[in-house]
Amino acid sequence: MTAAHTITVNLGDRSYPIVIGAGLLNGGFDLSKFVNGPDCLIVSNEIVAPLYRDRILPNLAGKAVTTIDLPDGESYKSVASLQAVIDRLVESGANRDTTVIALGGGVVGDIAGFAAACYMRGVAFIQVPTTLLAQVDASVGGKTGVNHPEGKNLIGAFHQPQVVMIDTDTLKSLPDRELKAGLAEVIKYGVICDVEFFAWLEDNMQALLEKEPPALARAIQRSCELKATVVAEDEHESGHRVILNFGHTFGHAIENCQGYGEWLHGEAVATGMIMAAELSGIGDGDVERLRVLLQKAGLPVSPPAIDGQDWLRTMGMDKKVKQKQLRFVLLRALGDAYLATSYDKDKLQQIIGASD
């Protein structure tokens, strides 16, 4: 086990640590001190559970452990899966001092966190993310929820974890496509608020693709630092936190229109970032830098064929919409994102019309 690095998400009495290191599973970090009562429920899926569920048990010494394994994939991020987790809590006789533990990627974390937010009006939960996307994004910040057929994450709640434990060794088993999808969210942080980190990614993308531990550790740590800072400023996304959604208005529409799971979230966000950068009206050179970096990461940069009206209908369910008007996170320049209340509507039609 290497020395762990801790980042604190400062939210007053809801503050919590993000602990990052190699070898934290198998008892390398004591999770039991974050389990308030005598028992916990580990929520995982059919892919992750065989790999890591036994390895997390030494981190929970002295606690009674119940488990549930969900089907794998974005298409199962549903009310039915939420119901299954709540049913398991009821079957196990869980009380308000039970802790829900999410062991898996972003889908598992979102479902488990939302179940914890709902059960008995709220019980504690812990995030143990095992994918790059979950480690740098989904596990931090307290967003939980499930999808609706008409839109992504339309049903959910803010519910902060007690702790986020990131064992970087779990990335050794991560398929290449999932790794690349996670890199989209890493790149996003550089695009929206840290151009020096963006430049570092340009120089180190091959090392990240080859899963070199020092490069991955730095990328995860910096991503978590940036997200923790933004979340501490705006926990419930009423202002500045919205910049974390750069590329997501287009990206969520791609996921919905193509069918959840056909495009991975990070793949859709990668293309969405290019579309948002084009809508921003920034210099062609900056758009090209972003395009080249995403291509280096093995990510798509062009949208699938979607009818223009389907784009508008699906984006109309975006959570940034106010008074029935679309709003987008755009760029003044690389490293400088903002929420635009006005934008070039002709340019938007051109961007979505290109994929008609």
- What are the tens digits of pLDDT across the range 2-57? 679 999 999 999 999 999 999 999 999 999 999 989 999 999 999 999 999 999 99
Query: Would you state the pLDDT for residue 1?
Result: 54
Residue 95's pLDDT band (cuts 50, 70, 90): very high
- Which CATH number is 87's domain given? 3.40.50.1970
Select from 146, 173, 200 the last residue of a domain: 173
In this structure, the answer to whether residues 206 and 224 fall within a common structural domain is yes
In this structure, the answer to whether residues 156 and 203 fall within a common structural domain is no
In this structure, the answer to whether residues 150 and 266 fall within a common structural domain is no
In this structure, the answer to whether residues 100 and 235 fall within a common structural domain is no
Least confident of 36-40, 173-177, 259-263: 259-263
Select from 153, 173, 193 the last residue of a domain: 173
Query: Which secondary-structure segment (H or E) carries 97?
Result: none
In this structure, the answer to whether residues 204 and 97 fall within a common structural domain is no
**64: β partners:** 39
Question: Which two three-digit tokens encode residue 191?
Answer: 């695009």
305-332: pLDDT as tens digits: 999 899 999 999 888 888 888 999 999 9
Q: Could you give the residue numbers annotated as active site?
A: 121, 143, 185, 227, 237, 241, 245, 248, 252, 265
Give the structural domain span for 188.
176-353
Burial class (CB in 10 A: 0-12, 13-18, 19+), 121: exposed
Query: Which secondary-structure segment (H or E) carries 215?
Result: helix 213-233
Do the Cβ atoms of 285 and 210 come closer than 8 Å?
no
Q: Any idea which residue has 């496509």 for tokens?
A: 177
Q: Which amino acid is at 343?
A: Y
In this structure, the answer to whether residues 11 and 90 fall within a common structural domain is yes
Vertex 159: Cα angle to 156 and 163 (nearest 5):
135
Q: Is the pLDDT of residue 353 over 80?
A: yes
- Which CATH number is 282's domain given? 1.20.1090.10
Select from 152, 173, 194 the last residue of a domain: 173
* Predicted TM-score (pTM) above 0.85: yes
Query: Which secondary-structure segment (H or E) carries 224?
Result: helix 213-233
Q: Is the pLDDT of residue 123 over 90?
A: yes
Q: For 242, phi and psi rounded to 5 degrees?
A: -60, -20
For residues 243-271, average pLDDT:
95
- Structurally, how many domains does the chain consist of? 2
99: three-class secondary structure by DSSP:
strand
In this structure, the answer to whether residues 200 and 160 fall within a common structural domain is no
